[in-house]
Chains A and B, each alone.
Chain A
Amino acid sequence: MLNISGVHTFYGAIEALKGVSLEVETGEISTLIGSNGAGKSTLLMTICGSPRARWGKVLFEGRDITKMPTHEIVQLGIAQSPEGRRIFSRMTVYENLQMGAIRNTEDRFERNISRVFELFPRLKERRNQRGGTLSGGEQQMLAVGRALMSEPRMLLLDEPSLGLAPMVVKQIFEVIKQINQDDKVTVFLVEQNAFHALKLAHRGYVMVNGNITMSGTGQELLVNPEVRSAYLEGGH
């Protein structure tokens, strides 16, 4: 579904991605793990064209999206819950969800919002509250809900568990699984919380310093000694 080959992305003179290649298969959950500053968020944003890859190619369903403007890329059926959640803080929960559906037709709106409220009943309770006043966990739910409002075929999630209480993390991962299994949404999940992510994912990639250094099924990486010592030992 998503095919990334030899992608290099720069911030000024800094090369954040140094030739990344990977694939996300239709219907699967793929995960990308790696420590802070490895370039994971940069990769997700490069998929959406901001910043743009200087070299290399990004194909979505066979179509070259490397040079497309961001708002056109996401209209092809990609939605992202970005790093830091980026809730529209001066809008209500409901308006944030409306923003997620801004490119959709009216009739799909009702169906999608009831699905989001079903996945996150908390958001329904808080529908008229301003986004900026939500707790961290609620903001994360809203970020995922907003992404789902566009009825995407592929969902990009950037560290949805960051800074959340274990209970909330569990809930979020449960929802990701449901979205994938029940709604048939392909998921590309970026995580530092490697244990949960690998357990959930069909396929995993490890990123170090702007390069993909390992890949395999979630299970393979979970038992891999290198992965264990670098990302799994201590905690979890």
Chain B
Amino acid sequence: MEYFVQQLINGLTLGSIYGLIAIGYTMVYGIIGMINFAHGDIYMIGAFVGIIGFIVMAILGITWIPLALLLVLVMAIVFTSVYGWTVERIAYRPLRGSQRLAPLISALGMSIFLQNYVQLLQGARVKPMQPMISGGLQLMDGGVGGFTVGMSYMQIIIILLTVVLMAAFTLLITKTALGRMQRACEQDKLMAALVGVNVDRTISLAFVMGAALAAVAGVMVTLYYGVIDFYIGFLAGLKAFTAAVLGGIGSIAGAMLGGLAIGLIEALWSAYFSVEYKDVAAFSILILVLIFRPSGFLGKPEIEKV
């Protein structure tokens, strides 16, 4: 029982990260019907900006952790958003209106480009980072010889931050003019333009918002695992993409749910079956979902009464 609870906590943490990344996939898919395969690498860039940010904070002598964390998050969000915006401008917008395959190939190219770009700038070796936030809470004491359930402060931060961000983001999409413009462009771009929405700018914004959330995920992962490399975006991206599909691609709530599901599946699988095959488990789910329920948990039905 204690062991299971511990895995739930680990899975929830992991799922938060996947969920944050998955929103970027789902938003871009929702608005332009395209899988942004470079999104995982945007997240990787967020992680790198994070690690550089912490070094900068150390140099500036900002050692109070909450402030350092906040500044690094802001920095990562800003830089990563610029990358997200630029990727859309140079790799996707020129191809808008062409066949479906063209932007997909462009996205794969962009992904490879970003990985090599970071590898050139930062080197291929893994970047370690001193643990900044250590310690945690003991939730259940297993007694002598038993299993003690703990939740590290880092896990608490990740889960809380994710909950807050997702709540804020949901409010933004459902209740604000900006969110309505996003949804309008998702449903009918021509009509959105006819009421005065700048469609190109709204699409850019979808990339920026997705990148901002991925940046937060990147910084969190850097702190959580303490090592990153230029290749982390690939696997995390694929998992987050799986999460988005599982939740129903195009649905923001679905991306959050899907992220949690994938995180939990991965943690529980690692705990009870085999760590080596945890990725296989996650991707088997992708395949099963695609076969049996392509629209995911919360996917929108294809046919709408017009």
Contact = CB atoms under 8 A, between A and B. Distances in A.
Interface in B144-198: 177, 180-181, 183-184, 187-188, 190-198
Nearest to B202: A71
B125 interface: no
Interface string A143-155: 0001000100000
11 contacts: A48-B194, A71-B196, A71-B197, A74-B196, A79-B194, A89-B187, A91-B180, A91-B183, A91-B184, A99-B197, A100-B195
A75 interface: yes
A80 interface: yes
A102 B195 contact: yes
Given A98-B177, A99-B180, A132-B304, A88 B187 contact: yes
A102 B304 contact: no
Given A84-B306, A102-B177, A132-B304, A71 B193 contact: yes
Contacts of A54: none
Interface string A25-38: 00000000000000
Interface residues of B, number: 21
Contacts of B180: 91, 95, 98-99, 102
A74 B188 CA distance: 16
A133 interface: yes
Given A91-B184, A132-B305, A86 B191 contact: yes
A146 B199 CA distance: 18
Given A70-B193, A74-B196, 20 more contacts: A70-B190, A71-B198, A74-B194, A80-B194, A86-B188, A86-B190, A86-B191, A86-B306, A88-B188, A88-B191, A89-B306, A90-B187, A91-B183, A95-B180, A98-B177, A99-B180, A102-B177, A102-B180, A102-B181, A150-B195
A89 B195 contact: no
Contacts of A87: 306
Interface string B197-240: 11100000000000000000000000000000000000000000
Contact of A99 (B195, B199, B304): B195
A50 interface: yes
A88 B305 contact: no
A160 interface: no
Given A86-B188, A98-B180, A102-B177, A74 B195 contact: yes
Contacts, number: 74
Contacts of B191: 82, 86, 88
Contacts of B197: 71, 99, 102
B196 A103 contact: yes
Interface string B290-306: 00000000001000111
Interface in B266-306: 300, 304-306
Contacts of B300: 90
Contacts of B190: 50, 70, 82, 86
A100 B181 CA distance: 11
Contact of A75 (B188, B196, B305): B196
Given A89-B304, A132-B304, A50 B193 contact: yes
Interface centre among B177, B184, B193, B195, by most chain A C-beta atoms within 10 angstroms, is: B195
B175 to A, nearest CB: 10
A75 B194 CA distance: 9
Given A48-B194, A71-B193, A82-B191, A90 B183 contact: yes
Interface in A108-147: 132-133, 146
A234 B103 CA distance: 52
B207 to A, nearest CB: 19
A71 B192 CA distance: 8
A163 to B, nearest CB: 12
Nearest to B188: A86
A102 B194 CA distance: 11
Interface centre among A48, A79, A86, A146, by most chain B C-beta atoms within 10 angstroms, is: A86
